[in-house]
């Protein structure tokens, strides 16, 4: 019995020593190389290249090959014209294997040898700086093109330049260079890259057409998996989930058959996400289980990334306990990942993002103590790592949680902190836009030089071959110049348009962040007035309605437009609160004509509230007799409706006369914010909203009428 217990104890120790994640410190590398004669440096075609016990390929007409291998693997290079060569893989750098041919060649060309070696060295330099310095990468490509002797080398240079742009997320430039590469020489790698670049640049139909035009029989197994995965991604982006599932499944079947484990992990995960998108939770869970199991056999970073994906899935399906458990595991293990690789703030694995999502999950479960704890931890970590985006989101969520928990003083303080973070983020975003502008101009200038270099090279070749066609060459050069100018103008127009949109979005956020605190603080002042007169019951009732209103306002604070029905509900609640405080000053009515199709219209959130607030605070409140506020919605035309806010208060002139200087400044600032907001929205959405303000009636208390005209989408 003691012996059995001893064996069990030894087994337990053995199992406990097995690491949680099976690490793979020696991943597969994509090895590119060439086989050449040692004396002439000429390429040798149809050479058999094999990884010892693994992949197999042959060289093309330029003597080049691409094969997947690990560090330490041995390449076996065989051909009938030379003795077998064995080459040990030590890095992912380009491999050049020089052999002594059995049949002597006499066409020795030392310049060709020098140029080819220089070209290969420059391409290796591009790969070395690809993820570090985009400017140097582009510079080395330009120098490589000057050493290029063949269309194959030119095609390779442009393809690698396209890969550099893909890494730096300049997808339009990547598309341009993939297309230039294919104009020089059609290769499957360049076609797959072009299709992916189209997808990332949101040219979805072009991406699908490019993928479908590739001859699948000419692809290797890994390339075929990439094709089906890319098609699945494109269909997923256009929400054609059934088509994406079909393509992902084809890729997964090939990956399983040929033991391409990393792609099995990715495709299981993507199939699960597609099932989740169509609401098939059971199938999604089964595929996520597979992806989690496969990811655990890869690097710890990949395993944690998959946990994050599954945690997002659990959040969507309201399985908050499972989500919290997964995110806590990520937080516990993320430090180990950071010892091997740097996680910047854009990574989904950062502890501040995970703690924010844990706090959000606890808040959805109404576990406010844990929610507050994790959100405060997220804010602290985001502050340490200068992650203003997470700090903003976590601070706003913390304010919301304090409201739900009933701690309104802390909610107010936290919301003040949130507005400060928003202002800080706004300044940072302006700086980032300026830096992005300089970055874009820099690489565009360098790309223009590369394109000009290609044009010059083609022009020089034409001059050598056809000296007597100078006039025709000049015409071609002018056409090339016009095309270049057109492309440059289009790229700059597209960039300026994107920058203008980004500036408008930031301006809208800034204006909303100024309006919401103003509205909330006014409401809190109302609460203070009830408390001051010891009307606790009235204050509690007011706070209940106010918290409901504030939650809805904060939920809509990031939206440019919300459904009109939702805005009407918010207006009813807000007007009810104002009437609750000033019952002796006015009555109100909200009418919607029966022929108005409310569901077909959208409106900027909180657009009408400031006009109602002005009507109550600056018109009806000063009226000697009880007044009336009317909000009416009616059709103006087939595609337009009018929303009128009218009151029989003292009017704008008398109101202005009795205001203090401080009140005048505050009112002016509020109205200016509304005008700016409407102007920006009309610029972005083509005059969707129109606002007019006029006197309501010809009596002593003339009142004010605000008419908002809203166009259908």
pLDDT in tens, 49-65: 888 767 788 888 778 88
pLDDT of residue 534: 58
Mark whether 103 and 119 lie in a shared domain.
no
Q: Which whole number is the average pLDDT over 410-434?
A: 78
Domain boundary among 84, 108, 132: 108
Q: Which whole number is the average pLDDT over 375-401?
A: 86
SS3 track for 527-574: HHHHHHCCCHHHHHHHHHHHHHHHHHHHHCCCCCCEEHHHHHHHHHHH
- The answer to whether residue 690 scores a pLDDT higher than 70 is yes
Rounded (10°) angle between helices 171-184 and 408-465: 20
**Residue 178: which domain range?**
111-214
- The answer to whether residue 108 scores a pLDDT higher than 60 is no
pLDDT of residue 225: 92
**Quick check: helix, strand or coil at residue 273?**
helix
| Host H or E run for residue 225 | helix 221-237
**Quick check: helix, strand or coil at residue 65?**
strand
pLDDT in tens, 266-308: 999 999 999 999 989 899 889 988 988 888 888 888 888 888 8
649, 657, 664, 678, 713 from 660: Cα distances, Å: 18, 8, 6, 27, 42
Mark whether 58 and 200 lie in a shared domain.
no
> Terminal CA-to-CA distance of the chain, rounded, Å?
80
Q: 221-225, 534-538, 649-653 — which is least confidently predicted?
A: 534-538
Mark whether 92 and 115 lie in a shared domain.
no
Mark whether 77 and 131 lie in a shared domain.
no
Q: Which whole number is the average pLDDT over 655-661?
A: 62
Mark whether 61 and 139 lie in a shared domain.
no
pLDDT of residue 495: 66
Interatomic CA distance for residues 402 and 417, integer angstroms: 13
Query: Do 312 and 331 contact (CB within 8 A), yes or no?
Result: no
> Within a domain: residue 148?
yes
Mark whether 567 and 705 lie in a shared domain.
yes
pLDDT of residue 492: 76
The label of the residue with tokens 């490589």 reads: 144
- The answer to whether residue 394 scores a pLDDT higher than 80 is yes
Domain boundary among 214, 246, 266: 214
DSSP assignment of 145-192, as one string?
HHH--SHHHHHHHHHHHHHHHHHTT-HHHHHHHHHHHHHH---HHHHH
Mark whether 167 and 44 lie in a shared domain.
no
Query: Do 247 and 235 contact (CB within 8 A), yes or no?
Result: yes
Q: Which has more pLDDT, 427 or 707?
A: 707
Of 99-103, 218-222, 237-241, 535-539, the range with the highest mean pLDDT is 237-241
pLDDT of residue 439: 64
The CATH number assigned to the domain holding 149 equals: 1.25.40.10
Q: Which has more pLDDT, 513 or 529?
A: 529
pLDDT of residue 22: 42
pLDDT of residue 418: 86
DSSP H helices in 238-319: 241-257, 261-277, 281-295, 300-316
Q: For CA atoms 681, 683, 684, 686, give the dihedral sign.
A: positive
pLDDT of residue 639: 85
The CATH number assigned to the domain holding 69 equals: 2.60.40.1120
Predicted confidence band at 87 (pLDDT cuts at 50, 70, 90)? confident
Query: Do 611 and 593 contact (CB within 8 A), yes or no?
Result: no
- 524: which 2 tokens? 């809190």
- The answer to whether residue 530 scores a pLDDT higher than 60 is yes
Interatomic CA distance for residues 522 and 527, integer angstroms: 9
Query: Do 204 and 234 contact (CB within 8 A), yes or no?
Result: yes
Predicted confidence band at 252 (pLDDT cuts at 50, 70, 90)? very high
Structural domain count, the chain: 3
Predicted confidence band at 8 (pLDDT cuts at 50, 70, 90)? very low
pLDDT in tens, 540-576: 777 777 777 777 777 776 677 788 888 888 888 888 8
SS3 track for 493-522: HHHHHHHHHHHHHHHHHHHHHHHHHHHHHH
Interatomic CA distance for residues 325 and 322, integer angstroms: 5
Mark whether 187 and 90 lie in a shared domain.
no
Q: Which whole number is the average pLDDT over 375-387?
A: 86
Q: Which has more pLDDT, 200 or 443?
A: 200
The CATH number assigned to the domain holding 581 equals: 3.30.565.10
Looking at residue 66, the DSSP 8-state letter turns out to be: E
Task: Please give the model's pTM, rounded to 2 decimal places.
Answer: 0.54
> Within a domain: residue 14?
no
> Within a domain: residue 151?
yes
pLDDT in tens, 125-135: 877 777 778 78
> Within a domain: residue 632?
yes
> Within a domain: residue 598?
yes
17, 293, 296, 303, 441 from 20: Cα distances, Å: 9, 11, 8, 10, 47
pLDDT of residue 21: 40
> Within a domain: residue 656?
yes
Q: Which whole number is the average pLDDT over 522-545?
A: 70
Mark whether 115 and 53 lie in a shared domain.
no
**Quick check: helix, strand or coil at residue 313?**
helix
Phi, psi (deg, nearest 5) at residue 556: -95, 0
Q: Which whole number is the average pLDDT over 255-265?
A: 88
> Within a domain: residue 674?
yes
Question: Bridge partners of 431?
Answer: none
Instruction: Please count the other Cβ atoms lying within 10 Å of the Cβ belonging to residue 6.
Output: 10
Query: Do 124 and 60 contact (CB within 8 A), yes or no?
Result: no
pLDDT of residue 669: 56
Mark whether 115 and 101 lie in a shared domain.
no
Interatomic CA distance for residues 313 and 356, integer angstroms: 16
Tally of helices (H runs) and strands (E runs) in the chain: 23, 14
Q: Which whole number is the average pLDDT over 200-219?
A: 92
Q: Which has more pLDDT, 435 or 312?
A: 312
Mark whether 563 and 697 lie in a shared domain.
yes
Domain boundary among 153, 188, 214: 214
Burial class of residue 40 (count of CB atoms within 10 Å of its CB; 0-12, 13-18, 19+):
middle
Q: What angle do CA 311, 314, 316 make, to 5 degrees?
A: 115
Interatomic CA distance for residues 505 and 429, integer angstroms: 11
- Find all residues with CB under 8 Å of 277, minimum gap 6, and list them: 236, 239, 241
Predicted confidence band at 17 (pLDDT cuts at 50, 70, 90)? very low
Query: Do 119 and 112 contact (CB within 8 A), yes or no?
Result: no
Q: For CA atoms 146, 147, 150, 154, give the dihedral sign.
A: negative
pLDDT of residue 697: 60
pLDDT of residue 611: 83
Mark whether 699 and 588 lie in a shared domain.
yes
> Within a domain: residue 57?
yes
Q: Which has more pLDDT, 353 or 713?
A: 353
279 conformational bin, left if phi > 0, alpha if psi -120 to 50, beta if neither: left
pLDDT in tens, 490-503: 777 766 656 665 55
């Amino acid at each position: 019995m003691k012996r059995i217990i001893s064996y069990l104890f030894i087994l337990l120790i053995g199992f406990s020593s097995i690491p949680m994640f099976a690490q793979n410190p020696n991943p597969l590398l994509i090895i590119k190389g060439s086989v050449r004669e040692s004396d002439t440096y000429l390429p040798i075609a149809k050479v058999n290249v094999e990884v010892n016990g693994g992949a197999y390929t042959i060289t093309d007409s330029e003597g080049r090959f691409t094969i997947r291998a690990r560090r330490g693997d041995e390449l076996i290079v065989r051909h009938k014209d030379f003795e077998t060569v064995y080459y040990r893989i030590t890095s992912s750098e380009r491999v050049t294997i020089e052999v002594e041919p059995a049949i002597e060649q006499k066409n020795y060309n030392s310049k060709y040898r020098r140029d080819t070696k220089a070209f290969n060295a420059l391409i290796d330099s591009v790969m070395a700086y690809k993820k570090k310095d985009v400017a140097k990468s582009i510079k080395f490509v330009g120098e490589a093109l000057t050493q290029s002797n063949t269309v194959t080398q030119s095609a390779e240079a442009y393809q690698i330049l396209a890969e550099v742009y893909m890494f730096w997320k300049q997808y339009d430039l990547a598309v341009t260079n993939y297309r230039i590469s294919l104009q020089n020489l059609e290769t499957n790698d360049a076609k797959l890259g072009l299709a992916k670049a189209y997808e990332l640049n949101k040219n979805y139909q072009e991406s699908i057409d490019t993928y479908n035009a590739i001859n699948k029989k000419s692809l290797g197994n890994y390339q075929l998996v990439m094709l089906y995965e890319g098609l699945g991604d494109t269909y997923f982006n256009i929400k054609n989930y059934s088509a994406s599932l079909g393509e992902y499944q084809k890729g997964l079947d090939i990956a399983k058959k040929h033991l391409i484990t990393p792609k099995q992990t990715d495709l299981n995960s993507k199939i699960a996400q597609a099932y989740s998108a169509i609401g098939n939770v059971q199938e999604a869970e089964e595929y996520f289980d597979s992806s989690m199991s496969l990811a655990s056999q890869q690097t710890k970073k990949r395993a944690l990334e998959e946990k994050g994906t599954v945690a997002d899935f659990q959040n969507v399906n309201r399985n908050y306990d499972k989500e919290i458990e997964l995110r806590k595991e990520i937080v516990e293990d993320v430090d180990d990942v950071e010892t091997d690789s740097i996680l910047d703030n854009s990574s989904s694995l950062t502890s501040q993002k995970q703690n924010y999502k844990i706090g959000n999950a606890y808040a959805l479960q109404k576990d406010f103590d844990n929610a507050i704890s994790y959100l405060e931890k997220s804010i602290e970590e985001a502050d340490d790592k200068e992650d203003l985006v997470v700090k903003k989101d976590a601070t706003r969520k913390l304010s919301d949680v304090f409201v739900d928990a009933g701690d309104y003083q802390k909610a107010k303080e936290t919301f003040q902190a949130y507005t400060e973070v928003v202002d800080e983020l706004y300044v940072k975003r302006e700086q980032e836009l300026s830096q992005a502008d300089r970055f874009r101009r820099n690489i565009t200038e360098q790309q223009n030089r590369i394109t000009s270099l290609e044009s010059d090279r083609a022009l020089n070749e034409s001059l050598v071959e056809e000296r007597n066609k100078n006039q025709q060459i000049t015409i071609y050069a002018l056409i090339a110049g016009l095309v270049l100018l057109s492309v440059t103008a289009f790229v700059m127009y597209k960039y300026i348009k994107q920058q203008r949109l980004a500036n408008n979005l930031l301006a809208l956020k800034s204006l909303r962040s100024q309006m919401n605190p103003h509205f909330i603080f006014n409401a809190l002042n109302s609460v203070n007035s009830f408390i001051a007169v010891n009307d606790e019951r009235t204050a509690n009732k007011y706070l209940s309605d106010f918290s409901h209103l504030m939650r809805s306002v904060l939920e809509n604070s990031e939206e440019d437009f919300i459904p009109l029905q939702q805005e009407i509900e918010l207006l009813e609640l807000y007007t009810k609160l104002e009437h609750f405080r000033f019952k002796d000053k006015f009555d109100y009515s909200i009418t919607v004509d029966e022929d108005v199709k409310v569901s077909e219209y959208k409106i900027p959130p909180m657009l009408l509230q400031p006009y109602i607030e002005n009507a109550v605070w600056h018109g009806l409140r000063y009226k000697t007799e009880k007044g009336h506020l009317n909000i009416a919605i009616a059709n103006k035309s087939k595609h337009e409706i009018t929303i009128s806010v009218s009151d029989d208060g003292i009017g704008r002139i008398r109101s202005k006369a009795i205001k203090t200087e401080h009140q005048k400044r505050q009112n002016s600032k509020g109205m200016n914010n509304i005008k700016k907001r409407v102007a920006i929205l009309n610029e972005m959405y083509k005059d969707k909203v129109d606002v007019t303000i006029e006197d309501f009636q010809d009596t002593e208390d003339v009142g004010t009428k605000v008419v908002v005209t809203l166009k259908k989408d």
